[in-house]
Structure 1
Amino acid sequence: MILDEIVEASKDEIVEFLKQLIRIPTENPPGLNYDKIISVLRDKLEEFGYKTEIIEGNKEFVRFGNGNRPNLVGYLGNGNVRIAFNGHYDVVPAGEGWSINPYEGIEKDGKVYGRGASDMKSGIVAQIYAVEMLKRAKLLPSNVKIIQTIVPDEETVGNKNAGTYCLREIYKKNADYVIFTEPTGPDNICNGHRGAIWAVVKIYGKKSHGGFPQLGIDAVKAVAIMIERLYSSLSNITSKYNIVPEAGKKPSILVGTVKCGTWVNTVADYCEFSIVRRLIPEERIDEVRESILRLLRDVSSETGVKFDYDEFYAVDTVVSEDGRLIDALRKAIREVRGVDPNVVLSAGTFDIRFTVSEGIKSINYGPGRIELAHSTDEFVYVKDLLDSIKALGRVLLEVAKGS
């Protein structure tokens, strides 16, 4: 197919653009270099013929970090088949322990390394170049309208956020379909995600001298008990749903941060810790929440501490049932990858919840592999990137042809 030939011939250009995006550290929190990357992306869309606008995200929804939250929207064509893409440009902090510079964008052994290589700057590149490659091949159907949406603040989640949540009216007005390009593997069709609860627990005790800690109420000790019981509280149930990666078929809990104490020789009167509880589809979110609160209440009663439970994100399992997008992707992946794709749920949540809740037909397909997301020495395979561009191009052709 001529599309495949043009994609392969454009390999260097495509990979170089991904490297350019990786070299802009858009860590969130706090939300670094957002305006800088939006400038680069806007220039690229306008170079490719899009009309663009910036929609500033509502800062009231920014719980972590500060600064502008620009959303980039690009419009191409005026057809009656309206297809939107969605990708987020923020990345989680790189952290320590990398064997390479996480923001150098190194290409080696058929891989491009860097924070965001998999999650999900490669997805942004794929959605932009899938359309551009069709244009260069003179295959882009005249009956389509393409909407590129490139957003912030996916990584810090929230029941509302300054990214996709703030574009709901754009999608309702302009899109019949939304294709997300999150990393769920180039051989998988992702139609939703597991549920999740994110919360911060604040523990209040009483100070005393370290020489006679019995006179205080030790917030650290109480938190240690709470954390141990939380980790021990998970059931051993395995989901019947096809969830990637495989480990996502079981419920999980993560205490990602603990902040306690003011001095080595003082009983801590305050401590806080975060909880991320992932739910499999067989679990009920209200029952899981109540089990967490019951555990916290029990430890509070046993130790004498008080606590506040600040839940700032709660979402149930989300499943998009649109067969047309699934069928188009299944056909495309078979042609490009030579495999029969799996239809899966993601173990992590992503912004598809905002479009599915509005009744918009939505699906996810991206080049990154979910097991590499947020990892040290994160990378994406160049072949996966090119193949995803070929597959997404075919999906556009298939959806336009059937309308």
Structure 2
Amino acid sequence: MTLIDQLIENRTTQQIAFLQQLVRIPTDTPPGNNAPHAERTAELLTELGFEVEKHVVPTAEVEAAGMQSITNLIVRHRFSEDGPTIALNAHGDVVPPGEGWTHDPYGAEIENGKLYGRAAAVSKSDFATYTFALLALKNSGLKLKGAVELHFTYDEEFGGELGPGWLLRQGLTRPDYLIAAGFSYQVVTAHNGCLQLEVTLHGLASHAAYPHTGVDALQAANKLLTALYAHNEVLKTRRSQVAGITHPYLNVGRIEGGSNTNVVPGKVVLKLDRRMIPEEHPAEVEAEVRALIESTVAQSPGITLDIKRLLLAHPMTPLPGAAPLIAALQKQGEAVFGEPIPTSGTPLYTDVRLYTAQGIPAAIYGAGPRTVLESNAKRADEHLELADLQRATRVIANALAEMLAC
């Protein structure tokens, strides 16, 4: 066990208590009132001896994006004036808990070595991973160069543009490398992109007793849904060459329409999500989806159509400069887990793309089970194996020490 490992082990109880406090403060997005969580996180970081910068995103920008409040946090710790800056990014916003829980989603209960709660795995866990990894380095007395930054942000669920995207656009940070919140034992080096659209079909409402006087938007939406889901058979033939990623997929995640049971629906709104593999070009994907929607709706007389883009998140592919970072994570991961740590892609999309778009080499690694599905991330009874929290903290801290060694 290294000196860094020992320092991390000595603070195990404190690290768990830190994570419990973060899980107990809801950050459901929507509605996206995330500033209170950032304020409490800043207090906890200050108690650990860190200087915390609080960057408040203007209310008008937050509300325009459909949220209520965002405060992004940066902690900077410099070991020397020369050397690289490595940023560690995790997001505090999460989807609402939904139904089916057998544990309080905000209770941070511990049972059989697992901590339960919304965001216990993705990604408040890595607030704790990264904080205590940096704390171990800070207290180690090792001669290191460069700097480490913590970026704790609050807009991943809505695309990240007001989280890391906002910090980068404001010129508040420009690291040389990035490690972002993980969700498996693998070092993730690529991820899918995502296009989200809001599709509104306008018909003409009428009394159900006189349906011929209306134009049924729901019947038109039914035809569109059939066409969209049929398109998935085409998408399944487009195979990615990236391990961990299979093929594109189109999902309709929300449908709203109609006013009452005795009224022909005059308006239906669909919200869809089109995942794109790293080999696809986002502009071409959007053009294809729009063309499919437009041609299908054109077959329903009297229906007019509005299409609004909600999100266009580009896929992430590894930058050449990421090789030393990836190698350090793999080496230290093998030392901790006792087995080779592979690289892989993920069908998720993440905030990492916002850093790589700026030319910042990045990798995804943090606390998590062998596979993301094992943690129930974003599902009922989401949880984190506490042994994985300590293991990931050791990997991160030792990888940072390797990258910053004089």
Same fold (TM over 0.5): yes
Matched AA of 1:354: L
Change (3 A) 1:170 1:64: closer
Pick the aligned partner of 2:108 from 105, 108, 115: 105
Determine the structure 2 residue equivalent to 1:383.
387
Pick the aligned partner of 1:220 from 218, 221, 224: 218
Alpha-carbon RMSD: 1.9
Determine the structure 1 residue equivalent to 2:152.
150
Change (3 A) 1:344 1:76: same
Determine the structure 2 residue equivalent to 1:138.
141
In 2, Cα distance between the equivalents of 1:49 and 1:176?
A: 24
- 1:239-388 correspondence runs (5 A): 239-243=240-244, 248-304=245-301, 305-321=303-319, 322-369=322-369, 370-371=372-373, 372-388=376-392
Alpha-carbon deviations, 1:303-326, whole Å to 9, x = none? 121111101211332112210101
Shift of 1:353: 1.3
Shift of 1:170: 7.0
In 1, Cα distance between the equivalents of 2:215 and 2:384?
A: 49
Matched AA of 2:200: K
Structure 1 length normalisation: TM-score?
A: 0.92
Determine the structure 1 residue equivalent to 2:32.
31
Change (3 A) 1:113 1:221: same
Alpha-carbon deviations, 1:33-65, whole Å to 9, x = none? x23222221122223332221112244255554
Which runs of 5 or more structure 2 residues have no equivalent in the other structure? none
Change (3 A) 1:384 1:170: farther
Mapped contact 2:122–2:181 kept (Cα < 8 A): no
Which shows bigger deviation, 19-28 or 8-17? 8-17
Change (3 A) 1:75 1:316: closer
- 1:46-57 correspondence runs (5 A): 46-57=46-57
In 1, Cα distance between the equivalents of 2:12 and 2:79?
A: 29
In 1, Cα distance between the equivalents of 2:170 and 2:188?
A: 23
Determine the structure 1 residue equivalent to 2:67.
66
In 2, Cα distance between the equivalents of 1:352 and 1:255?
A: 25
In 2, Cα distance between the equivalents of 1:273 and 1:173?
A: 37
Structure 2 residue 178 is matched with structure 1 residue 178: yes
User: Percent of counterpart pairs with the same letter?
Assistant: 27
Mapped contact 1:171–1:355 kept (Cα < 8 A): no
In 2, Cα distance between the equivalents of 1:72 and 1:172?
A: 11
- SS at structure 1 position matched to 2:4: helix
Matched AA of 2:68: G
- 1:76-115 correspondence runs (5 A): 76-79=77-80, 80-81=82-83, 82-115=85-118
In 2, Cα distance between the equivalents of 1:319 and 1:171?
A: 23
Determine the structure 1 residue equivalent to 2:188.
190
- SS at structure 2 position matched to 1:206: coil
In 2, Cα distance between the equivalents of 1:142 and 1:281?
A: 36
- SS at structure 2 position matched to 1:282: coil
Alpha-carbon deviations, 1:42-96, whole Å to 9, x = none? 1222233322211122442555543321111112225223121111111111111
Change (3 A) 1:366 1:91: same
Which shows bigger deviation, 36-45 or 386-395? 36-45
Mapped contact 1:84–1:177 kept (Cα < 8 A): yes
- SS at structure 1 position matched to 2:206: coil
In 2, Cα distance between the equivalents of 1:279 and 1:254?
A: 12
Matched AA of 2:6: E
In 2, Cα distance between the equivalents of 1:190 and 1:152?
A: 21
Pick the aligned partner of 2:227 from 226, 229, 235: 229
Alpha-carbon deviations, 1:354-387, whole Å to 9, x = none? 1111111222111135323211111111111110
Structure 2 residue 163 is matched with structure 1 residue 163: yes
Mapped contact 1:28–1:65 kept (Cα < 8 A): no
Mapped contact 2:314–2:353 kept (Cα < 8 A): no
Shift of 1:199: 0.8
Which runs of 5 or more structure 1 residues have no equivalent in the other structure? none
Mapped contact 2:189–2:363 kept (Cα < 8 A): yes
Mapped contact 1:251–1:280 kept (Cα < 8 A): yes
Shift of 1:343: 1.2
In 2, Cα distance between the equivalents of 1:169 and 1:303?
A: 44
Mapped contact 1:172–1:358 kept (Cα < 8 A): no
Shift of 1:400: 0.8
- SS at structure 2 position matched to 1:319: coil
- SS at structure 1 position matched to 2:207: coil
Shift of 1:394: 0.8
Structure 2 length normalisation: TM-score?
A: 0.91
